[in-house]
């Protein structure tokens, strides 16, 4: 038993990869066998993720090396001083992201078991979905730059293939092509930056580079390449154009997980800004760049969302807008690092708000995309001009949609309000204009979701949707899990912040602690 608990980070990647590659084989035995296999794989992986997270939150950063018993053997004796092991460093921020990925991955697999029931090509779908899940877990857990690049490419390729899955008269293939091409260019520039760092510091490990770093011109170019590649991957304006295209055309369960994948890139952006280059870059400049990107994303995201006619494209623009909130919160935290008194008063709250918003966004955005998927499944259309009056028949879906819409608009007592309150209060003290823009964006978010709610669920029962039934049970259970978490995190926000968010925020700004956890254990 101990050996399993010690090797959990390895199992975290091994189980979904093994499950993914054996899925076509298992599906020879029938649909039910494959459903059980996929559900079992993702349940075990989520269990691994939650166990690792609880261990990290109890005992501190876990450093897991692949291939050795103790961290002291990381440099093989006959290699001439070249450390060639891959390390997984799971500190409280990674644990926070692991919890998000675990919950959402379980819910979407449960959902897609029933939403894919009548469609063909299911082995490919579930293989790619398990690969995407493995890629995202790898992105979150790894402590090695090149390993991060490999998992980034795995999740981009699997995600792009899933976006283009239902070819949909070629439109989904167009969306998949845009996602794949942009991700490839971003990944290549990321690799160039890794090359710049490797040639100077002779290591690929994030902690080793952070401890040896001495800022040179090449390092600054590498930082800019890292920052823009990762900001593009999470959908910051003005590099956000791929987000509405691919989120709209993907199957709904996949979209809910693509949101988590974008947030894993956001996590990596914070890792690069705070830990890898901790103390080397000027926090005020980079913080203000992040703040400007955040404000642009918030405003352009929500104003482009309001006139949309496709419900998933509208929700995708809202995902861009909410990513702006996270960038704003953490950007204020980074800019406040430049002066100690400002950091003690404003910075920690802003960091906590931004990080808490990541978790809340994954939950309520996943819920919203799953409800949009139910509408697509039952009514066959995503066009808001053709829908109407579905609240008569689909009562539970309407309740879940209302919970998600109120949460994203920041209405108490749901979880969106808790994180937005933290962001408003801290950014108001930092610069009042930012808080005003954030609140206006929140009002516009509420406006656009009232529009969606009216045109989908309110109104008289339309004749073409006379006999539309409620969603099937697995979909309702998946949405219910997310909705219950949305409500619980809204009613007990301080508990969540004390146990999950505050350790993550403290670990984020403590780059010495990150390096010490990896290098100190080496002795």
Of 370-399, binders to other proteins (CB under 8 A) are: 384-389
Using DSSP's 3-state secondary structure scheme, residue 144 falls into strand
Least distance to other proteins from the beta carbon of 47, Å?
27
Q: Interaction with other proteins in 249-308: which residues (CB under 8 A)?
A: 249, 281-282, 285-286, 289, 300, 303-304, 306-308
Dihedral sign computed on CA atoms, order 412, 417, 422, 425: negative
**Between 17 and 56, how does the x/- string for binding to other proteins read (CB under 8 A)?**
----------------------------------------
Put residue 75 in one of left, alpha, beta given phi > 0 → left and psi -120 to 50 → alpha: beta
User: Is residue 201 part of the contact set for other proteins (CB under 8 A)?
Assistant: no
Smaller CB distance to other proteins: residue 7 or 345? 345
* Stretch of 35-43, 103-111, 234-242, 505-513 lying at the interface with other proteins (CB under 8 A): 234-242
Give the nearer residue to other proteins in terms of CB position, either 386 or 522: 386
Residue placing its CB nearer to other proteins in the complex, 2 or 80: 80
For the chain, the distance separating the N- and C-terminal CA atoms, rounded to the nearest angstrom, is: 27
Nearest to 329 by CA among 445, 434, 440: 434
Binding mask 335-364 for other proteins (x = CB under 8 A): ----------xx-xx---------------
Least gap, CB of 510 to other proteins (angstroms): 20
- Are the C-beta atoms of 468 and 59 separated by less than 8 Å? no
Residues with Cβ within 8 Å of residue 323, at least 6 apart in sequence: 234, 235, 236, 262, 266, 294, 297, 301, 361
**Which one of 129, 239, 332, 471 is in contact with other proteins (CB under 8 A)?**
239
Q: Which two tokens stand for residue 91?
A: 């500190």
CB-based contact 350:333 (threshold 8 Å)? yes
Residue 384 Cβ vs other proteins, minimum distance, rounded to whole Å? 3
> Scanning residues 130 to 169, which ones bind other proteins (CB under 8 A)?
146, 150, 153, 157, 160-161, 164, 167, 169
Report the residue from 47, 51, 188, 342 that binds other proteins according to the rule CB under 8 A: 188
Question: What residues from 406 to 465 belong to the interface with other proteins (CB under 8 A)?
Answer: 412-413, 417-418, 421-422, 425-426, 429, 447, 451-452, 454-455, 459-463
Question: Which member of 82, 118, 214, 469 binds other proteins (CB under 8 A)?
Answer: 82
User: CB of 234: closest distance to other proteins in angstroms?
Assistant: 13
Binds other proteins by CB under 8 A, chosen from 55, 85, 174, 342: 174
What is the per-residue burial (b if ≥16 Cβ within 10 Å, else e) of 9-34? bbbbbebbbebbeebeebbeeeeeeb
Gyration radius from the chain CA atoms: 22
Residue of 1, 3, 199, 341 that binds other proteins (CB under 8 A): 199
Among 248, 295, 298, 394, binds other proteins (CB under 8 A): 248
Looking up tokens 């949305």 gives 486
The site for other proteins, by CB under 8 A, has a size of 101
> Which of 54/386 has CB closer to other proteins?
386
For residues 6 and 498, which CB has a smaller minimum distance to other proteins in the complex?
498
Using the rule CB under 8 A, is 177 a contact of other proteins? yes
* Rounded-to-integer distance, Cα 249 and Cα 168, Å: 8
Separation CA 11–CA 178 (nearest Å): 33
> Which residues within the stretch 474-513 sit at the binding site for other proteins (CB under 8 A)?
490-495, 497
Give which of 327, 266, 338, 322 is closest to 291, Cα–Cα: 327
With contact defined as beta carbons under 8 Å apart, do 316 and 248 qualify?
yes
| Residue from 227, 257, 457, 511 binding other proteins (CB under 8 A) | 227
Q: Which two tokens stand for residue 82?
A: 């070249």
DSSP secondary structure string, 53-120?
Answer: HHHHHHH--EEEESS-SSGGGGS-TTSSS-----EEEE-HHHHHHHHHHHHHHHHHHHHHHHHTTT-S
Nearer to other proteins, 157 or 276 (CB): 157
The residues in 204-223 that bind other proteins, with binding defined as CB under 8 A, are 204, 217, 220-221, 223
Residue 334 contacts other proteins per CB under 8 A:
no
Nearer to other proteins, 46 or 393 (CB): 393
Q: Which is nearer to other proteins, 18 or 189 (CB)?
A: 189
The CA-CA-CA angle for residues 203, 148, 101, to 5°, reads 145
Q: Tell which one of 93, 129, 162, 175 touches other proteins (CB under 8 A).
A: 175
Distance of closest approach, residue 350 Cβ to other proteins, in angstroms: 10
**Which residues 297-316 are close enough to bind other proteins by CB under 8 A?**
300, 303-304, 306-309
Q: Name, in order, each residue with C-beta under 8 angstroms of 458's C-beta and a sequence gap of 6 or more.
A: 388, 389, 391
Please name which of 403, 442, 398, 401 lies closest in space to residue 419, comparing C-alpha atoms: 442
> 250: alpha, beta or left, given left = phi > 0 and alpha = psi -120 to 50?
beta
């Amino acid at each position: 038993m101990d050996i399993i608990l010690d090797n959990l980070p390895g199992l975290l990647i091994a189980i979904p990869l093994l499950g993914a590659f054996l899925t076509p084989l298992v599906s020879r035995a029938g649909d039910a066998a494959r459903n059980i296999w996929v559900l079992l794989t993702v349940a075990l992986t989520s269990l691994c993720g939650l166990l690792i997270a609880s261990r990290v939150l109890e005992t501190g950063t876990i450093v897991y090396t692949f291939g050795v018993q103790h961290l002291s053997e990381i440099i093989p004796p006959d290699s001439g001083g070249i450390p060639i092991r891959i390390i997984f460093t799971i500190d409280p921020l990674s644990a926070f992201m692991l919890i998000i990925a675990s919950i959402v991955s379980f819910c979407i697999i449960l959902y897609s078991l029933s939403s894919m029931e009548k469609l063909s090509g299911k082995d490919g779908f579930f293989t790619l979905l398990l690969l995407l899940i493995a890629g995202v877990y790898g992105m979150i857990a790894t402590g090695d730059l090149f390993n991060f690049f490999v998992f980034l490419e795995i999740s981009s390729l699997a995600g792009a293939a899933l976006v283009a899955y239902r070819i949909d008269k070629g439109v989904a293939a167009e969306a998949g092509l845009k996602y794949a091409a942009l991700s490839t260019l971003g990944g290549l520039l990321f690799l160039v930056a890794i090359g710049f760092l490797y040639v100077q510091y002779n290591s690929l490990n994030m902690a080793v580079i952070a401890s040896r770093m001495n800022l040179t011109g090449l390092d600054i170019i590498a930082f800019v390449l890292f920052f823009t590649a990762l900001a593009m991957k999470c959908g910051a304006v003005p590099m956000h154009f791929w987000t509405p295209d691919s989120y709209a055309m993907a199957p709904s369960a996949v979209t809910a997980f693509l949101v988590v994948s974008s947030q894993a890139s956001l996590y990596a952006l914070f890792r690069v800004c705070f830990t890898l280059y901790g103390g080397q870059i000027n926090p005020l400049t980079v913080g203000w760049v992040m703040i400007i990107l955040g404000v642009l994303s918030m405003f352009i995201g929500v104003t482009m969302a309001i006139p949309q006619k496709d419900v998933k494209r509208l929700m995708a623009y809202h995902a861009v807008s909410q990513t702006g909130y996270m960038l704003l919160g953490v950007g204020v935290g980074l800019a406040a690092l430049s002066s100690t008194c400002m950091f003690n008063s404003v910075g920690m709250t802003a960091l906590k708000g931004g990080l808490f918003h990541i978790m809340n966004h994954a939950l309520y955005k996943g819920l919203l995309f799953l409800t949009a998927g139910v509408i697509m499944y039952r009514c066959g259309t995503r066009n808001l001009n053709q829908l109407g009056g579905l609240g008569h028949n689909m009562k539970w879906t309407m309740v879940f949609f209302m919970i998600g819409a109120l949460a994203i608009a920041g209405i108490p007592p749901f979880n969106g309000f808790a994180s937005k309150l933290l962001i408003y209060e801290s950014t108001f003290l930092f610069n009042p204009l930012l808080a005003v823009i954030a609140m206006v964006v929140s009002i516009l978010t509420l406006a656009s979701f009232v529009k969606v709610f009216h045109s989908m669920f309110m109104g008289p029962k339309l004749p073409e949707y006379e006999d539309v039934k409620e969603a099937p049970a697995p979909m309702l259970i998946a949405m219910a899990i997310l909705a219950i978490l949305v409500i619980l995190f809204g009613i007990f926000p301080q508990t969540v912040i004390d146990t999950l968010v505050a350790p993550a925020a403290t670990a984020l700004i403590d780059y010495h602690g990150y390096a010490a956890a990896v290098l100190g254990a080496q002795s």
